[in-house]
């Protein structure tokens, strides 16, 4: 069968037909995710100024935790890139190290985000306060839920790489996970620019 | 007892109690029947755990037909209620519930399931593949759809049906004006089945892009496969919008957020916009596969190549792009202003151009062809004029200034039923009849089929043409009754008679299935229609692996070429075939989704969290399991092939 043939001219994650289909399928899934976040952003821009009796963005946004979150997530995107590079060189230990760094940075990002949410609620900007706070916390929360899911997913994939070594299957899974992680970074850049920076201006 | 009170129906009636009894009795009958005939193991092994695209297609088909009858009964009750003035068959609340569930069931659970049924069964065969790209995900798609449909239908007997229209406009759908759990069901059931649809979209795009037979370039794909590709692209880009809108609606209702409320900055029009940003592409998700079916059927029974292949593809691509930029035409009267309305008027009317191209291509395919009036062809021939009437009245509605006259009247109801019934339902029946022998190994009776067509085509015209007149006279849609002095009575009675005609037609189709199952010949060969594309090049019934040898293709009608022009489809000998294994995980995971949805509807948070953990456990199981499928040996292929060939020669 065609799909069983291994193509050794390709990197491990692309070496089987099923692996190539998984990667294409995941790219299409990312297309759907872009629509998902696109809809959230469109709704955010619509509801941004509709603060009711609640606070505006400028009143509640704080620059320092946001900068910290940005720095952490951007760095994690870089380290997972290094992880995939190590994987292509067949250096499993280095790859695992970079994956661990990535996930630790992701966890740190999340703890800042939790702090940020608590801060908003203390400022009187809960999810029920106004249309603006509803969409703000939903957009941030959807991204945060993706990162949380990614943390668990990443750990499960690392366990498989450690148990089974670098096979076409585990390499494929790791690579797809890295696409997901990069994508979350891209979304964050939009959140940073169009939610926080625009809101603080 | 307080706990159980939430499950009560807020507006009970004898019909609902009768339905409860019927559901319980049917469930008992199914359980007893399965146990008595010892079919539980068969059901589990062959169907519930299957990852075979053909079986999944057939399960979609059965579910779609069941939903067709559920939605059809709703429709009949609506027409019966409005048949005479001041009728008291249903009260206002029940009428609201019935038109709501009719819309949702027909669009989401019937039409979507029907097109996905045919795509599942046909597309892998048409491209010469062994299965779809992700067979396991395909099973997940089906079971999510199925559980979503079951959850939605449960609302009828537990907690009450949604009643704010299939569009669920806020603030009407908010918890203040729709306090029953009905709209929660709407939000959750659509969310769950929508997830299944999104997965189908991804699966089929990869399948079509990556798994075509050697030689089948994109521009040599059969037209149904082309329509499937474009449809699935629309699915992937449209459904996430619905996901977000439904999530926001759910949060507004359950967590008191302020997305679509009328206080604290909420904006009800945001729902209308998001709903139709998904909703209009959804219309094309339904109609494009239908266009694909008509292209196959018309070409086969005119004995001619499809006219204008390239322009067919181009017009579908243009329609798919335009489908995303017309959504405002669903609410021209809701305050956008003249400039925005004009822009959306123009984009709306522009869709008539690529659609017109397709109509002319079909007509030119038939031009000078040797037309055979088989049942699928009759539906295709009926489709062209009726759909054109539906379509041109759509252009009338698309003119925003004039739309103020038509909006929210029966004129609109007539328009969209006259596009969606000949467009989608006729195509589904045509496709069902056309591919039936490939699915089940015998043909449906032509004579009963022609009678059914007569009743359905005639019933459609009689049921919906009068609505144009009563609509222009001012009859509003969704009104549960009217006074005699309005003069609407006559037209509504005509509609009711037409609806009865449609019902007779559908009953005849069921009778036809029964009759043909009992009496039709099984000796029909592999290609009973003398057709043109690859699905007819394999055996009847189709073996598990579809094609013993992967076919070689050199044109968009490879099978026709092999019959008439000496093209060799199958080169070389048998090789071992790799196939995926069955799995019960998709079913189990979807059951967890069902429980999750049900718990959410009734705000039972502990159950919701537990079932969510169950869902993640299923995903985890999938991630860690080592499943490399199984191999079918050359000896086994030889055995199957000679048996199938033997069956044909007898």
Q: For the packed helices B268-302 and B223-254, what is the interaxial angle rounded to 10 degrees?
A: 160
Which residue range forms the structural domain that includes residue A20?
12-200
User: Could you give the domains of chain B?
Assistant: 2-521+547-572 (1.20.210.10), 573-650 (1.10.287)
Whether residue B259 and residue A135 make contact (CB cut-off 8 A), yes or no, is: yes
Nearest to A25 among B134, B257, B575 (CB): B134
H-helix or E-strand spanning residue B630: strand B630-632
pLDDT at A29 over 60: yes
Give a yes or no: residue A3 inside a domain: no
Closest CA–CA distance from residue B175 to any residue of chain A (Å) = 14
A24 vs B contacts (CB less than 8 Å): 206, 209-210
CB-nearest partner of B264 from A17, A52, A138: A52
Instruction: Chunk chain B into consecutive blocks of 10 residues (it has 650) and report each block's average pLDDT, rounded to whole numbers.
Output: 78 82 88 90 92 96 95 94 93 93 96 96 95 95 97 91 94 92 96 97 97 94 96 97 97 95 93 96 95 96 93 96 94 91 94 93 93 96 94 91 93 96 96 95 95 97 96 93 94 97 96 96 89 91 91 88 87 90 95 97 95 96 89 91 65
Question: Which of the 8 DSSP states describes residue B132?
Answer: -
Say if A5 falls within a structural domain: no
Give domain status of residue A7, yes or no.
no
Query: What is the rounded radius of gyration, in angstroms, for the C-alpha atoms of chain B?
Result: 25
Chain B residues 182-211 with a CB less than 8 Å from chain A: 198, 201-203, 205-206, 209-211
- Residues B359, B467, B149, B173: is their CA dihedral positive or negative? positive
Helix (H) or strand (E) holding A136: helix A131-164
Across the interface, whether the CB atoms of B241 and A39 are under 8 A apart is answered yes
B624:A46 CB<8 A: no
Q: Quote the pLDDT of residue A116.
A: 94
Q: Please state, in angstroms and rounded to a whole number, the distance separating the CA atoms of residues B296 and B312.
A: 12
Q: What is the pLDDT of residues A167-191, one digit of tens each?
A: 999 999 999 999 999 999 999 999 9
Tell me the nearest-neighbour CA distance from A1 into chain B, angstroms.
6
**Which of A16, A31, A39, A165 has the highest number of chain B CBs within 10 A, making it the mutation to test binding with B?**
A39
Q: Retrieve residue B219's tokens.
A: 């521009």
C-beta atoms of A46 and B205 within 8 A: no
Are the Cβ atoms of A43 and B270 closer than 8 angstroms? yes
Q: Do A39 and B133 touch (CB under 8 A)?
A: no
Residue A169 within a domain: yes
In chain B, residues with a C-beta closer than 8 Å to the C-beta of A53 are 264
Q: What is the pLDDT of residue B650?
A: 37
Question: Residues of B numbered 119-158 whose beta carbons fall under 8 angstroms of chain A's beta carbons: which are they?
Answer: 133-134
Sort out which chain A residues have CB atoms less than 8 A from B324's CB and list them.
none
**CATH assignment at residue A143:** 1.20.120.80
Task: Mark yes or no for CB contact B251/A32 under 8 Å.
Answer: no
Distance between CA A184 and CA A148 in Å, rounded? 11
* A126 occurs within a structural domain: yes
| pLDDT, tens digit, 9 for 90 and up, residues A71-114 | 999 999 999 999 999 999 999 999 999 999 999 999 999 999 99
Domain count of the fold of chain A = 1
Closest CA–CA distance from residue A88 to any residue of chain B (Å): 22
Q: Is residue A9 over pLDDT 90?
A: no
Chain B residues near residue A157 by CB distance under 8 angstroms: 623
Residue A152 falls inside a structural domain: yes
pLDDT at B648: 47
CB contact under 8 A, B274 and A39: yes
Name every chain B residue with its beta carbon within 8 A of the beta carbon of A2.
550
Task: Name which of B236, B248, B270 is nearest A32 (Cβ-Cβ).
Answer: B236
Specify the range with the lowest mean pLDDT, choosing from A1-5, A195-199, B349-353: A1-5
Partner residue facing B267 (CB), from A4, A47, A157: A47
Give burial (CB, 10 Å; 0-12/13-18/19+) of B571. exposed
Domain assignment present for residue A196? The answer is yes
N-term to C-term CA, chain A: 60
Any domain includes A1: no
């Amino acid at each position: 069968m065609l799909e069983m043939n291994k193509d050794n001219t390709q990197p491990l994650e692309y070496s089987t037909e099923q692996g190539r289909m998984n990667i294409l399928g995941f790219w299409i899934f990312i297309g759907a995710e872009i629509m998902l976040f696109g809809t959230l952003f469109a709704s955010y821009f619509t509801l941004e100024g509709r603060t009711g009796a609640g606070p505006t963005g400028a009143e509640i946004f704080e620059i320092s935790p946001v900068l910290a979150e940005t720095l952490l997530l951007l760095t994690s995107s870089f380290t997972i890139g290094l992880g995939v590079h190590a994987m292509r060189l067949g250096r499993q230990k280095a790859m695992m190290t970079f994956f661990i760094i990535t996930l630790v940075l992701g966890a740190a990002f999340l703890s800042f985000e939790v702090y940020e949410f608590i801060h908003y609620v203390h400022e009187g900007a809960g999810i029920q306060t106004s249309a603006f706070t509803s969409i703000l916390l939903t957009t941030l929360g959807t991204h945060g839920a993706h990162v949380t899911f990614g943390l668990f997913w990443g750990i499960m994939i690392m366990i498989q790489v450690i148990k089974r070594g670098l096979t076409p299957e585990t390499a494929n899974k790791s690579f797809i996970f890295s696409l997901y992680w990069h994508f979350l970074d891209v979304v964050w850049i939009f959140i940073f620019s169009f939610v926080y920076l625009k809101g603080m201006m | 007892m307080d706990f159980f009170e939430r499950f009560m129906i807020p507006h009970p009636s004898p019909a609902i109690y009768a339905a409860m009894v019927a559901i319980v009795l049917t469930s008992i009958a199914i359980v007893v029947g399965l146990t008595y005939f010892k079919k539980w193991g068969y059901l589990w092994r062959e169907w519930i755990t299957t990852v075979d695209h053909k079986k999944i297609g057939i399960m979609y088909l059965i579910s779609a037909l069941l939903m067709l009858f559920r939605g059809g009964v709703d429709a009949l009750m609506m027409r019966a209620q409005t048949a005479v003035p001041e009728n008291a068959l249903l009260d206002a609340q029940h009428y609201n519930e019935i038109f709501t569930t009719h819309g949702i069931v027909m669009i989401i659970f019937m039409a979507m399931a029907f097109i996905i049924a045919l795509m599942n069964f046909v597309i892998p065969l048409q491209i010469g593949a062994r299965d779809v790209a992700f067979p396991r995900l395909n099973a997940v798609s089906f079971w999510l759809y199925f559980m979503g449909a079951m959850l939605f239908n449960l609302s009828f007997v537990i907690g009450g049906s949604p009643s704010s229209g299939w569009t669920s406009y806020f603030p009407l759908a908010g918890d203040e004006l729709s306090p029953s759990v009905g709209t929660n069901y709407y939000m959750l059931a659509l969310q769950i089945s929508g997830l299944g649809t999104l997965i189908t979209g991804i699966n089929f795009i990869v399948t079509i892009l990556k798994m075509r037979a050697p030689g089948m370039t994109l521009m040599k794909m059969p037209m149904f496969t082309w329509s499937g590709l474009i449809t699935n692209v629309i699915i992937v880009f449209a459904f996430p919008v619905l996901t977000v809108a439904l999530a926001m609606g759910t949060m507004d209702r359950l967590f008191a957020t302020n997305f679509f409320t009328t206080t604290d900055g909420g904006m009800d029009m945001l729902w209308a916009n998001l709903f139709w940003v998904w909703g209009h592409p959804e219309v094309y998700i339904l109609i494009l596969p239908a266009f694909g079916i008509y292209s196959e059927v018309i070409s086969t029974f005119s004995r001619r190549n499809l006219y204008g292949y390239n322009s067919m593809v181009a017009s579908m691509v243009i329609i798919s792009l335009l489908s995303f930029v017309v959504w405002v035409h669903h609410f021209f009267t809701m305050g956008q202003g003249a400039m925005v309305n004009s822009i959306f008027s123009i984009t709306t009317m522009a869709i008539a151009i690529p659609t017109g191209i397709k109509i002319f291509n079909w007509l030119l395919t038939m031009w000078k062809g040797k037309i055979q009036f088989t049942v699928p062809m009759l539906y295709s021939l009926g489709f062209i004029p009726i759909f054109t009437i539906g379509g041109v009245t759509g252009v009338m509605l698309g003119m925003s200034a004039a739309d103020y006259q038509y909006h929210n009247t029966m004129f609109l109801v007539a328009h969209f039923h006259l596009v969606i019934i000949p467009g989608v339902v006729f195509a589904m029946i045509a496709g069902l009849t056309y591919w039936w022998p490939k699915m089940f190994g015998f043909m449906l009776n032509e004579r009963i089929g022609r009678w059914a067509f007569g009743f359905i085509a005639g019933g459609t015209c009689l049921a919906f043409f009068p609505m144009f007149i009563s609509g222009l006279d001012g009859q509003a849609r969704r009104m549960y009754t009217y006074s005699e002095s309005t003069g609407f009575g006559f037209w509504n009675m005509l509609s009711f008679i037409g609806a009865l005609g449609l019902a007779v037609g559908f009953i005849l189709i069921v009778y036809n299935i029964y009759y043909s199952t009992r009496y039709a010949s099984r000796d029909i060969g592999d290609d009973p229609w003398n057709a043109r594309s690859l699905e007819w090049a394999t055996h009847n019934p189709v073996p598990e692996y579809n094609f013993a040898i992967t076919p070689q293709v050199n044109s968009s009608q490879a099978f026709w070429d092999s019959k008439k022009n000496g093209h060799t489809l199958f080169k070389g000998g048998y090789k071992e075939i790799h196939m995926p294994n069955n799995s019960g995980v998709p079913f189990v995971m979807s059951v967890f989704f069902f429980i999750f949805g049900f718990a959410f509807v009734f705000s039972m948070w502990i159950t919701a969290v537990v079932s969510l953990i169950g869902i993640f456990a299923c995903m985890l199981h999938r991630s860690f399991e080592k499943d490399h499928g199984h191999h079918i040996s050359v000896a086994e292929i030889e055995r199957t092939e000679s048996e199938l060939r033997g069956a044909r020669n007898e």
